[in-house]
Amino acid sequence: MKKKDFIKNRFFSIIIFLQLFTANQVFGQISNIVSSVKIGDAKEKLPLEISAELFSSENITNMNIAYKPFGENEFKKAEMLIAGNTASITLPAEVVIPPYLEYYLIINLRNGSTQTYPLDVSQGVSPLQISVSTVSEKEKEIIVLSPNPGEMLSGDELLISISFIKAPENIDVSKTKIFLNDTNVTSYELLTGDLIVLSGENLAGKIGYGAKLLTVEVYDKEGKLYHTLSRSFQTVSAEVAMTVSSKWKYYGNLKGESRNESYNSTSTWYNNISGEFNTTYNDFRFNAFAYLTSEEKNNLQPYNRYTAAFQAGDWLDLKAGDSYPIFPNLIMDGQRIRGFSGALNLGFINVQTAFGETTRGVEGNLLQTYPVGSVPLGSDIILIDKVKNIYGKVDLGTYKRQLLVVRPSFGSGENFQLGFSYLHAKDEVGSINYGARPQENIVIGTDIKFAFDDQNILLTSQAAISVQNKDISTGTITDAQIDSIFGKNSNLGMSPSDFKKIRNIVGSFITVNQYLGPWNPQEFSSLASETALSLNYLNNNLRASYVYRGNDYQSFGQTFIRTDVKGINIVDRIRMLDNKLFVSFGYESLKDNLQNTKVATTTYQTISASVSIFPRVDFPNITIGYNNYDNNNGLNVTNAQTSPFAVNDNTNRVLVQLSYDFTAGIRHNSSLSFTTSDRKDNTLAKMNANFSSGSLTLNSFWNQQLSSLFGIVFSSSEIQGVPFKYISFSFGGKYLMLENKLQLIATLCPSFGDFKRQTLEFTADYNVLANLNLMFQARLFRIPGASTNSIIGLVTRLAI
Amino acid sequence: MRAKSLLLVLLMPWFIGFTSDENLPPTGDTPVALVKKIVKDVTYKKAGQSDWEVAKTGDPLFDQGQVKTGSKSLALVLFTDGSGLLRVRENAVLNIYGKRNDKQLDKNTYIDKGLIGFEVNKQENAEFKFTTPTAVASIRGTLGFIEVGSDSSTTISLEKGSVEFQSTRGNKGSGTVTGGNTAKIDLLGNVNLNSATEEDKNKNSTTKQLTTKKVKIKTPQGDIEIEYYSSGNR
């Protein structure tokens, strides 16, 4: 046996060994809500789709995802769209940065509790990681010049061209194989230097009209498969191409679902229908989307979603219905609004705006009434009849909240942009009868961006200041109230007339009364600012930033932001060895207690390092990461007075991820990951936690019709001395039959150890007509000794 | 001591990154560009060739090759490093030059006359230049058109991105034109930089039209045939 083969075989032995003793994040995270999480292709600076399959969405109010790129301490949060039994979101391209993203899901339940996926993230369980590959170096090396993705070409115009100008030396261009819908057309190619060309002339009469999948297999000089590229396009007759090119282009689809959920002997039917329609004409684009579900209820926040959007090139963007407008992140980001949003980008001057409802008014419930004189104290005791002076204990409802945000800006943003933002949000006091403490919020902000040397030097900065009224139920303070407070016997140092002037000015923006804050603006308590400098030189991408967020900063357009924190963050991502080696370093130091509202100041320090190897040979891609989180507020942990307030913990986390596409008789792709973290809490609370988890997945492609999936997950944790271990297996397969019109998918996942459950999922998807599909889905999950539950559904999809 | 260590840690990656470039393969006989699409009368010529040949889809264009379009014709030219495409409008002559520099392809084009629409991706280290009888323009990532008039004056108009240019004659004026603006360089080397006019915007729009349509009107005196450009896939 050659030494190289020996090493390779030895390596696989180690992988198989590790597979048996490690755990997975994708299949094995235990949850009674989330069945599995599907991650799209995570590539640098490309939007990333994440969807969570739910056992049942019945008890969920809403779901959010918390995510952060490598080297950052703070998780950003965004709301996920729940449609049927799937919650999904597309993360913006700018946060999809190598080497990996960390994330977890936050599930808010109807009973008011919150759960995370994976469970107990707040207790020390590690969030999940998504490896982000550098925008496929192999795809940068081997370029499909033509056709463009989705392009429609007549036979005369057909051109397939692949460029190897940037390919590495070990590639043998002449060994490249080209397939069109599985038909090998390599013999029709013309090879010119590092360029392969197949034109319509060569292929005349060889391929018919219709959808085409171009597959290109690239081999190295030893004949080993180096990379596979694919691209979809269409070939049509010259007449069709001419007709299509001159008309409105449109497409759409309709989807209907009916499913039955049997959960703990309760059977419930759910129905939903969704439709999407897109049309384009030159630079004009119109898109409409609607999702209507039987889960929509007046006493809950909306489940239905509908949007109509119109775009004219890059200069006009209008949306009506539900949207998630993005403004500077201190102002508004990740918040759904039902109303209108739009942007007009003229280059020198631009305007962006959004207004509408962010929270629907949901009436509360009256539980008990109390006459004056026997009213107990409680946050849920409110005055329900002002005339008769009757109080009541209620389930508090939610006020309808209206929000307006506008941002004029100057400059296109390519080299310079200066923006000013104004946000006003207010709860409608009369929208419900049984509620408490309706609020109002104003945020004023500015942002600026400078970019030099083709954006290799990028300086961005933003600042915002907020004002919030925490209870506007009593309205604006009256003249009489002002006179009584600031009148003759007052020692507040302000005359009633001066205060009235201030009230009249400020009152034209926000309700003025005793609940208006902040009370200490001179301490910058409601100020938030961020400044970042990025340098992209010498294969380094260095980013340094400073954040300051006062403890009273609040924007109703950005309810997830972490406040009472300031500090620096430095991240450097280095590409080496022609992008085969990727090394990252991160350092962050944050402090809280900016306005001395806490017993002591805690310093949150994070050190991160990561190495990713993309060897481009017959060897796995490897990512190894290390993080150290140190939180300390300097209080004596043994002193009886200070120990209850002491923060003194340190967490070490190590991550190893491997992915490997290989041929062993047939093609396989595999991934292996391992995470271990250990938190040592030095305070008397001893909230120690250690957690290890690993996973292996193996997808095997037996032939054009059959593929299989095998997965193992192992998880072991010990939180405050309580151990919890389990192992899960996944066995699944996908089979295409009846000329690929029927797709059958089945997966069995048994779990053993401290968590016992068996799930079986089966899907049959039949392509009845070219544009009509019928899909049957069944999911059974059994918890031994407890219950057997099921979800059975039928889905119809029609494309137009 | 601690500060020195921190400084060393911060600087080390820069040195590592600086020393990580590799020497890459030598040049070959790879074309600089190829013809992606043709409408009507498009011909091309290789270096040193005297006669024009009828161009076909997929024809390779090598260093010093030329493409010529006739009336109501157009050619779509793709660069083989994936850096972008040129739309050679009617009655134009485009000269193509390219030089392999490791894995980079430095590109230059000489435009004798006519209008060329361009859509060029962000260039990392490679050069992408347009040369006309009166100017040289260097671009990195941009969308717009360049036109050489009958008096050899040059017009550069951009929808997006930026282009640095310099006049090669007379006053040798220079500047940078950015998205939404137009630069005009005359024979004397004078430069006029203004916001794009409606005419410029229309030209930017029409350069993207890649198909022609014919309408036949039957009259007692015979058929009238009207041919016009319409939008289509690139």
Mean pLDDT, chain A cut into blocks of 10 residues (800 residues total): 42 35 41 82 84 79 86 79 82 85 87 81 78 73 86 83 89 90 83 87 74 85 83 76 62 85 80 88 86 89 92 90 92 91 92 96 92 84 85 93 97 90 96 93 96 88 96 92 84 84 92 90 92 91 94 91 93 82 91 93 94 77 92 92 92 91 82 92 90 91 86 89 91 87 91 90 87 88 84 83
- For residues A105 and A218, state if they share a domain: no
A159 in reach of chain B (CB within 8 A): yes
pLDDT at A73: 66
B78:A161 CB<8 A: yes
Q: Per the domain annotation, does A307 fall within a domain?
A: no
A572:B13 CB<8 A: yes
Tell me the pairing of strands A401-410 and A349-359.
Answer: antiparallel
Residue A209, number of CB atoms within 10 A of its CB: 12
pLDDT digits (tens, 9 = 90+) for B21-34: 333 333 347 889 99
Give strand pairing partners of A530. A462, A547
Cβ neighbors of A720 (< 8 A, separation 6 or more) are A123, A686, A687, A688, A689
Of the partner residues B205, B213, B233, the one whose CB lies closest to the CB of residue A152: B233
Determine the topology of domain B26-208 in CATH: Jelly Rolls (2.60.120)
Residue A243, number of CB atoms within 10 A of its CB: 12
- For residues A88 and A53, state if they share a domain: yes
pLDDT at A12: 37
Residue carrying the six token digits 């120990």: A643
Which residue of chain A is at minimal alpha-carbon distance from B229? Answer: A246
pLDDT at A585: 93
- For residues A218 and A119, state if they share a domain: no
CB A33 within 8 A of CB A117: yes
- For residues A58 and A27, state if they share a domain: yes
CB A140 within 8 A of CB A166: yes
Residues of B in contact with A201 (CB under 8 A): 56-58
Cα–Cα distance between A424 and A509 in angstroms, integer?
A: 8
A172 in reach of chain B (CB within 8 A): no
Number of residues assigned to chain B? 234
Q: How far is A144 from chain B (nearest CA, A)?
A: 8
Tell me the pairing of strands A152-154 and A225-236.
Answer: parallel
A195:B34 CB<8 A: yes
Query: Of chain A residues 26-65, which have a CB less than 8 A from chain B?
Result: none
pLDDT at A241: 66
- For residues A88 and A142, state if they share a domain: no
Helix (H, G, I), strand (E, B) or coil at A507: helix
pLDDT at A2: 45
The H or E element containing residue A482 is: helix A479-486
B17:A538 CB<8 A: yes
Cα–Cα distance between A492 and A506 in angstroms, integer?
A: 19
Q: Indicate which CATH number applies to the domain containing A90.
A: 2.60.40.10
Beta strands in A457-557 (DSSP E): 457-469, 516-517, 527-537, 540-549
Which residue of chain A is at minimal alpha-carbon distance from B230? Answer: A246
Cα–Cα distance between A525 and A519 in angstroms, integer?
A: 9
- For residues A127 and A199, state if they share a domain: no
Where does chain B have alpha helices with state H?
2-18, 198-206
- For residues A202 and A98, state if they share a domain: no
Q: Which of A195, A216, A246 is the last residue of a domain?
A: A246
- For residues A221 and A163, state if they share a domain: yes
Q: How far is A496 from chain B (nearest CA, A)?
A: 55
Compute CA distances A238 → A235, A322, B206, whole Å.
9, 41, 22
Maximum pairwise Cα distance, chain B = 98
Cβ neighbors of A660 (< 8 A, separation 6 or more) are A619, A620, A621, A669, A670, A671
Q: Per the domain annotation, does A143 fall within a domain?
A: yes
Of the partner residues A152, A156, A194, the one whose CB lies closest to the CB of residue B28: A194
Residues of A in contact with B13 (CB under 8 A): 540, 572, 574, 583, 585
Cα–Cα distance between A428 and A407 in angstroms, integer?
A: 24
Residues of B in contact with A200 (CB under 8 A): 57-58
Q: Per the domain annotation, does A161 fall within a domain?
A: yes
**Range A369-376 contact pairs with CB under 8 angstroms and sequence separation of 24 or more:** A369/A393
B31:A153 CB<8 A: no
Q: Per the domain annotation, does A159 fall within a domain?
A: yes
Record the tokens describing residue A612, joined without a space: 């990713």
pLDDT at A402: 97
Where does B63-122 have alpha helices with state H?
none
Closest residue by Cα to residue B26 from B103, B79, B83, B97: B103
Q: Per the domain annotation, does A560 fall within a domain?
A: no
* Opening angle at CA A108, ends A104 and A109, nearest 5: 135
- For residues A77 and A99, state if they share a domain: yes
Helix (H, G, I), strand (E, B) or coil at A111: coil
Of the partner residues A195, A244, A578, the one whose CB lies closest to the CB of residue B22: A578
Give strand pairing partners of A156. none
A576:B17 CB<8 A: yes
- For residues A179 and A75, state if they share a domain: no
Residues of B in contact with A194 (CB under 8 A): 28, 30, 80
Closest residue by Cα to residue A440 from A380, A371, A507: A507
pLDDT at A246: 54
CB B164 within 8 A of CB B176: yes
Query: Of chain A residues 534-563, which have a CB less than 8 A from chain B?
Result: 538-540
Residue A124's domain spans which residues? 3-131
Cα–Cα distance between A641 and B175 in angstroms, integer?
A: 69
- For residues A110 and A190, state if they share a domain: no
Residues of A in contact with B232 (CB under 8 A): 241, 244-246
A143:B81 CB<8 A: yes
Q: Please give the ipTM for the structure prediction.
A: 0.78
The H or E element containing residue A238 is: helix A238-246
Which of A166, A173, A199, A285 to mutate to test binding with chain B, by most B CBs within 10 Å of its CB? A166
A242 in reach of chain B (CB within 8 A): yes
pLDDT at A331: 95
Helix (H, G, I), strand (E, B) or coil at A9: helix
- For residues A29 and A60, state if they share a domain: yes
Q: Which of A246, A266, A281 is the last residue of a domain?
A: A246
Number of residues assigned to chain A? 800
The H or E element containing residue A697 is: strand A689-701
pLDDT at B124: 67
Residues of A in contact with B210 (CB under 8 A): 245
Q: Which of A131, A149, A165 is the last residue of a domain?
A: A131
What is the tally of structural domains in chain A? 2
B78:A347 CB<8 A: no
With cut-offs at 50, 70 and 90, classify the pLDDT of residue B15. Answer: very low
Q: Is the dihedral of CA A167, A168, A174, A175 positive or negative?
A: negative
pLDDT at B203: 80
> Is the link from the previous residue into A118 a cis peptide, with omega within 30 of 0?
yes
Query: Of chain B residues 129-148, which have a CB less than 8 A from chain A?
Result: 140-141
Residues of A in contact with B100 (CB under 8 A): 165
With cut-offs at 50, 70 and 90, classify the pLDDT of residue B210. Answer: low
**Quick one: angle between helices A496-507 and A479-486, nearest 10?**
140
